[in-house]
Copies of this chain bind each other. A is one copy, B any other.
Amino acid sequence: MRDVAQHAGVSTATVSRVLNGHAAPTQATRTRVLAAIDELGYRPNALARSLRTTSTKTLGLVISDLLNPFFAEIARAVEDEARSHGYCVVIGNADENAEQEATYVRTLLDRRVDGLLLCPATDDPSLVREVVAGGVPLVLLDRTVRGATCPVVRADGADALTQLARRLVGAGHTRIGVIAGPADTSTGRERLDAFAAALGPLLSQDLVVHGDFRQDSGSQAAAVLVERNATALVAMDNLMGLGALAELRRAGLRVPDDVAVAVYDDQPWFPLVDPPVTVIAQPTVEMGRAAARSLLALVNGDQPEDVHLSARLVVRASC
């Protein structure tokens, strides 16, 4: 910057003013400075700038699992929305692991992100409290924590799950197996609760198996449930659904004749599976965008409302 100033015969203050679009500098100096800038190929040091201004124009996004296309889509939407407002997004991958999540959150805070978007790995509120106590704008995405003290953006699947339950019961299923998410995540619990409520006494405890939102756990759960004579399987997450489908295929069971299947989260390939899979589709893009918008509002000092979107049932041939 000093070089630029020298080159243009002005002080660094003037260069800075030109760079930041202040009113002060004359048209003449302005062009002189700009000429110097691209003659020297100067690029401002964002670290120094941020250090001084205490603003990084960066948002942090800590998601549970980058390999889960649901989160990849969300990340993509967040990034889009943020970029359109001049913000950058740093993505952290927690791998469904509370410890790694905490590490990432702290790293991002150390780097002074202007705000943080978090899909919490568990519903333990301590990390959230830590961030909020540190005064950093925080918005929770997809999942919440106990007694959350910050805005939350999520999609409600209760209606869709109720419809699904009705449909399965209507088709004569009496032994419906559930591959639920972890009991210590809000989505894991809520989806199960909503489905259980819709099913009432028809749902027997031994047909509920908790997975970890990953493919393998879906396979294992499916094996267990089939063993217990379930005639329908509902996987509460697309990766566990994938695992369940793989297991059914491995076991030589036919869908939906032997076992009906439905999965939470739609994916582009679900219609192509044999048979096409009934799903509950979440508005991922809207969730991501809304979360980014809420966070930016918070960063700008507003107090955004929680956002509640809805998932919807998409019936295909698998049940």
Asked if B73 and A111 sit within 8 Å, CB to CB, the answer is: no
We find that the number of chain A residues with CB closer than 8 angstroms to chain B is: 40
The contact string, 1 if C-beta is below 8 Å from chain B, for chain A 82-126, is 000000101101000000000000110111100000000000000
What DSSP secondary structure best describes chain A's contact surface?
helix
Confirm or deny: A56 has a beta carbon within 8 angstroms of a beta carbon on chain B.
yes
Binds B, one of A44-52, A168-176, A295-303: A44-52
Asked if B43 and A47 sit within 8 Å, CB to CB, the answer is: no
Chain A positions 9-68 with a Cβ under 8 Å from a chain B Cβ: 43-48, 50-51, 56, 66-67
A30 to B112, CA, bound (A): 26
Looking across the interface, which residue of chain B has its beta carbon closest to that of A48? B51
Q: Please name all residues of chain B whose beta carbon is closer than 8 Å to the beta carbon of A251 when the two chains form the complex.
A: none
Asked if A107 and B88 sit within 8 Å, CB to CB, the answer is: yes
A93 to B268, CA, bound (A): 20
Looking across the interface, which residue of chain B has its beta carbon closest to that of A108? B88
Binds B, one of A179-187, A192-200, A269-277: A269-277
Confirm or deny: A76 has a beta carbon within 8 angstroms of a beta carbon on chain B.
yes
Confirm or deny: A72 has a beta carbon within 8 angstroms of a beta carbon on chain B.
yes
With A110-B45, A273-B274 as given contacts, are A72 and B66 in contact (CB-CB < 8 Å)? yes
Most chain B CB inside 10 Å of its own CB: which residue of A47, A50, A73, A75 = A47
Looking across the interface, which residue of chain B has its beta carbon closest to that of A255? B272
Q: Please name all residues of chain B whose beta carbon is closer than 8 Å to the beta carbon of A274 when the two chains form the complex.
A: 272-275
Chain A positions 129-157 with a Cβ under 8 Å from a chain B Cβ: none
With A44-B110, A69-B72, A91-B91 as given contacts, are A268 and B51 in contact (CB-CB < 8 Å)? no
Confirm or deny: A228 has a beta carbon within 8 angstroms of a beta carbon on chain B.
no
Query: Measured between C-beta atoms, what is the minimum distance from A251 to chain B in Å?
Result: 13
A109 to B271, CA, bound (A): 42
* Interchain residue pairs A-B with the least CB separation, the first 6: A274-B274, A46-B110, A46-B111, A47-B51, A269-B269, A91-B91
Interface residues of A (CB under 8 A from B): 43-48, 50-51, 56, 66-67, 69, 72-73, 75-76, 79, 88, 90-91, 93, 106-107, 109-112, 215, 242, 245-246, 249, 267-269, 271-275
List 6 contacting pairs A-B, 8 Å CB cutoff, sorted by A.
A46-B112, A66-B75, A66-B76, A67-B72, A79-B93, A90-B91
